[in-house]
Chain A
Amino acid sequence: MRISELQRERLAYQRSRSRRSTLVALLSTAVFAVVGYLTVTSAPGWPRVREAFFDVDTAWRALPAVLEGLWLNLRVLVVCGVLILVLALGVAAVRTLRGPVWFPLRVLATAYVDVFRGLPLIILLYLVGFGLPALRLSGVPNDYVVLGGAALVLGYTAYVAEVFRAGIESVHPSQVAAARSLGLDPRRTMRLVVLPQAVRRVLPALLNDFVSLQKDCGLISVLGAVDAVRAAQIEQAKSFNFTPYVVAGLLFVLLAVPSARFADAAARRAERRQGAR
């Protein structure tokens, strides 16, 4: 293919513009960083803050304990995450059931969502974690990680069920009508036509809840478990130095970054599929 003189000029111009914007972006980032750094470090309390929050020795000492705590967070996250997805989809499906036969189930599902979405997670943890085993029923587990995980699942399922329901209800009725007229029964309509579209639409919201769950998994520490934040707190109390919290915080941020990128990628993919770009 032959490129015309005019096109060549055009491309050269575009390249120079793009070089220029890269340069401007670099320069403004550098200026921004320097100003930010100087503002923070020139604050009168900075030496004390650096000592109390960014002490390398303390960070290094706290790291093994915090990592061990984070391992518990991760295990709880994976198990609870899977359970929540499955149960929430079930609750959402029940809430969208049509027909008078399903009335009691619908009421139950609605009541469940109302109660457990409204209940503060900490209170839920206390009720499940300390209240349930105090009944001394046989068969109720007495491990605080299990009980804490159960409380998380109860609370988050209510949230995620609503996200799924929003997705299901966002699928246009004509889709269902078309599926039915092709001879699909209601169950297959749901499985093959409605859910795939619904899930794709609410994926960003689901990942949002997932990141939120990443952090809330640590709340099981109120029941006695030592998660990353609790491990940091233990280290902090030994020395009255807050650096272990910063260490735990950074680890959580690192944990959330892959989810955020995945969410971005999923959103882009959905856009492409719908021909938005």
Chain B
Amino acid sequence: MRVPALLLTVTAFAAVACAPADQAPSGPTAVDGVACSKDKLPTLTPGKITFGTDQPAYSPWFVDDDPTNGKGFESAVAYAVAGELGYAKADVVWTRVPFNAAVQPGKKTYDADINEFSITEERKQAVDFSAPYYDVDQAVITLKTAKAAAAKSLADLRSVKIGAQVGTTSFQAAERLSTEQDVAVYNTNDDAKAALRAGQIDALVVDLPTAFQITSAEFADGHIVGQIPGGDGRPEQFGIVLDKGSALTGCVSNAVEALRSKGTLGKLEQEWLSSAGTAPELR
């Protein structure tokens, strides 16, 4: 009896020591649901949770550039996470945070920022990420009239002029194509689309849901060439960004995991990103 008891104690110790403690050094731990409740969470405004996202916020992640309507995948996820932590819809406050402002050191204007941030080890040095809420693929889109429309393989894309938005993992995926010409880099996907229209680039790399959005709703003659395989074999994942060392990280992560196990994330994906998953995988 003695040995198992000891083992149990050790395991319990280990669990307590490594799970939430290093993520949330001050503030309540994220182990039990009680401490992760609305009245205990040290948010910017007590009793409210402030989500940040960029402006404009694009479909299908948000709808009509209005994060407060609960429409679009990320808006819906934000409200679901808030609900999981005990916040009513009225307790959720939105603020607009440009991409760079979201990751700069210093006082944050948000509790959690949801803005298609891909989780990488390097970025974890600067900010906290929640558990991933979406596995994202990168895709190449073009116009039916462009020469890239005929591409069937990664090799066919070598000679194509590719563009992508700066600071995105789409750009990194575009670089992985190692095309003959340098990748053109744009401030926003809107600029990249203008360049595609103007014929300055032949194809554009965006994440798959955005690819479906552009080719189905924005460009009548848009065409998805296919998906680009991931860099290191692991799926690329979106996470909610929190301040480095934020006391909320553990709770937000728990909420995301709870939503996943309940099947809510899958349902929201179905609802807002339903057309995803039908583009051919390029090899």
Interface residues of A (CB under 8 A from B): 45, 48-49, 51-53, 126, 129-131, 133-134, 136, 142, 144, 221-226, 230, 233-234, 236-242
CA distance A8 to B126 in the complex (A): 66
Q: Are B120 and A238 touching (Cβ within 8 A)?
A: yes
- By a CB distance below 8 angstroms, the chain A residues around B244 are 48
Q: Are B167 and A144 touching (Cβ within 8 A)?
A: no
Of B22-30, B78-86, B179-187, B264-272, the one with at least 4 CB within 8 A of chain A: B179-187
Min CB–CB distance A156 → chain B (angstroms): 22
Known: A133-B199, A234-B167. A224 touches B186 (CB 8 A): yes
CA distance A142 to B106 in the complex (A): 42
B149 interface residue (CB < 8 Å to A):
no
Query: Which B residue sits closest to A222, measured CB to CB?
Result: B187
Partner of B104, one of A52, A126, A230, A233: A52
Partner of B163, one of A221, A222, A224: A224
Q: Are A240 and B123 touching (Cβ within 8 A)?
A: yes
Min CB–CB distance B219 → chain A (angstroms): 14
Q: What are 28 pairs between A and B in contact, CB < 8 Å?
A: A49-B105, A49-B106, A52-B104, A53-B105, A130-B200, A133-B199, A134-B194, A134-B197, A142-B198, A221-B185, A222-B186, A224-B186, A224-B192, A230-B166, A230-B185, A234-B167, A234-B171, A236-B100, A237-B166, A237-B168, A237-B171, A239-B123, A239-B126, A240-B103, A240-B122, A240-B123, A240-B125, A241-B125
Query: Which B residue sits closest to A230, measured CB to CB?
Result: B185
B127 interface residue (CB < 8 Å to A):
yes
B195 interface residue (CB < 8 Å to A):
yes
CA distance A233 to B185 in the complex (A): 10
- By a CB distance below 8 angstroms, the chain B residues around A133 are 198-200
B135 interface residue (CB < 8 Å to A):
no
Mask: chain B, 197-241; 1 = CB below 8 Å from A; 0 = not: 111110000000000000000000000000000000000000000
CA distance A221 to B103 in the complex (A): 22
Min CB–CB distance A126 → chain B (angstroms): 8
- By a CB distance below 8 angstroms, the chain A residues around B120 are 238
State the 10 A-B residue pairs at the shortest beta-carbon distance, nearest first.
A237-B167, A224-B184, A240-B126, A48-B105, A240-B103, A134-B198, A52-B105, A239-B122, A133-B198, A130-B194
Which residues of chain B (86-101) have a CB below 8 Å from chain A? 99-100
Min CB–CB distance A234 → chain B (angstroms): 6
CA distance A186 to B186 in the complex (A): 50
Q: Are B104 and A224 touching (Cβ within 8 A)?
A: no
Q: Chain A: interface secondary structure?
A: helix
Q: Are A51 and B184 touching (Cβ within 8 A)?
A: no
Query: Which B residue sits closest to A221, measured CB to CB?
Result: B185
CA distance A222 to B184 in the complex (A): 10
Q: Are B200 and A224 touching (Cβ within 8 A)?
A: yes
- By a CB distance below 8 angstroms, the chain A residues around B153 are none
Q: Are A225 and B122 touching (Cβ within 8 A)?
A: no
B178 interface residue (CB < 8 Å to A):
no
Known: A224-B185, A225-B184, A233-B167. A45 touches B125 (CB 8 A): no
CA distance A75 to B192 in the complex (A): 24
Known: A222-B187, A226-B182. A234 touches B125 (CB 8 A): no
Q: Are B123 and A234 touching (Cβ within 8 A)?
A: no
Known: A224-B195, A230-B166. A239 touches B105 (CB 8 A): no
CA distance A142 to B201 in the complex (A): 10
CA distance A53 to B186 in the complex (A): 24
Q: Are A144 and B122 touching (Cβ within 8 A)?
A: no
CA distance A169 to B266 in the complex (A): 73
Q: Are A142 and B105 touching (Cβ within 8 A)?
A: no
Other than the given A45-B105, A53-B105, A240-B126, 8 more pairs (CB < 8 A) read A51-B105, A134-B199, A221-B185, A223-B200, A224-B163, A236-B100, A239-B122, A242-B104
B172 interface residue (CB < 8 Å to A):
yes
Q: Are A136 and B195 touching (Cβ within 8 A)?
A: no
- By a CB distance below 8 angstroms, the chain B residues around A51 are 105
Q: Are B199 and A52 touching (Cβ within 8 A)?
A: no
Min CB–CB distance B107 → chain A (angstroms): 8
Min CB–CB distance B174 → chain A (angstroms): 11
Residue with the greatest number of chain A CB neighbours at <10 A, chosen from B127, B163, B167, B185: B185
Query: Which B residue sits closest to A237, measured CB to CB?
Result: B167
